[in-house]
Amino acid sequence: MDALRVKAIARAAGASAAGIARAADLEEFRRFSEAVIMVPSGLGYLNRDPFKRKNIKKWYAEARSVLVCAFRYWTPDRDYGAELAKAGAPAAYLAGSGRWANQRELVAAPGAKISRYVLGRDYHLTVKEKMAAMLEEIRKESPAADGKIFCDTSPVMEKELGRLAGIGFRGKNTLLLSRELGSYFFIGGMALNFELKPDTPSEDSCERCDQCVKACPTGALKNGKLDPSLCISYWTTQAKLPIPAGIAEKAKGFAYGCDLCQEACPQNKAPGQTAPGFEPIKK
């Protein structure tokens, strides 16, 4: 099976974009390992198995190539206010969709907002189901093929692999940014036990823009890096401590996640379709 066929299977299973990266040492690991020393306690998982992130073969010894997929969950034609209203009271919505609200006072406040990515089913489940369907299809055509799936929770440098697979580049808000899809997409992938021709890595950048940096109300974005101790999204979804008052008062209503740097990004204005399965939860 060749790379074109693998990517066609990925698209047929619902990926908005798909690319192939080599299973090899990642230069980006050095920057990651320097940055991770300073992470707050809520991100301590980043320090678990750090060396597995250097090379996906340390996580899955049979890896010979990596399929990386993007699943778009938001497009500009969707009405955020209307979908928030349909979701109802944030506290009840979060509890009912299996999420834990860390900052309960913010969630209970009038006009509380939840991030766009939370309006659908838990993406870890949906992405893993889609990736499993792809692996099954690959194995139907190539019975000796095998793979190991990742989505957010494995010690895998997903954004860098996405860049190497040609999906997009790192925006100044630190997210993977695609000229076609913007940044409202989830990443899923799998290490595969057979060689595939890799895609051309993206060397693009958003050098002349700084809309996200200006839009971030807490100054969390600086020099292409994100300071989690200032990030509303970190405090509302991952931190185990109460959010500092100085950050809470700048949150502009965001009580679970924060979309302000993505709302400001001109790359998120491109029309298109969400990936099937990532629609809002029906009330």
Query: What are the φ and ψ backbone dihedral angles of 8, each rounded to 5 degrees?
Result: -65, -40
Active site residue 152: yes
Residue type, 216: C
Query: What are the φ and ψ backbone dihedral angles of 139, each rounded to 5 degrees?
Result: -70, -25
Nearest one of 251, 248, 254, 234 to 41, comparing CA atoms: 234
Measured from the CB atom, is 140 or 222 closer to ligand SF4? 222
Smallest separation, CB 265 to ligand SF4 (Å): 3
Structure token digits, residue 255: 């009580």
Measured from the CB atom, is 106 or 177 closer to ligand SF4? 177
Q: Name residues contacting ligand SF4, limited to 199-218 (CB under 6 A).
A: 206, 209-212, 216, 218
Across the chain, the runs of DSSP E, i.e. the strands, are: 17-22, 65-72, 113-114, 147-150, 169-170, 176-177, 185-192, 221-222, 225-226, 254-256
Q: Name residues contacting ligand SF4, limited to 218-237 (CB under 6 A).
A: 218, 220-221, 226, 231-233
Give, rounded to a whole angstrom, the gap between the first and last alpha carbons of the chain: 42
Measured from the CB atom, is 136 or 210 closer to ligand SF4? 210
Smallest separation, CB 209 to ligand SF4 (Å): 3
H-run or E-run covering 80: helix 80-87
Q: In this chain, which of 63, 172, 176, 256 binds ligand SF4, going by CB under 6 A?
A: 172
Measured from the CB atom, is 65 or 178 closer to ligand SF4? 178
Binding residues (CB under 6 A) for ligand SF4: these are 171-173, 177, 206, 209-212, 216, 218, 220-221, 226, 231-233, 258, 260-261, 264-267
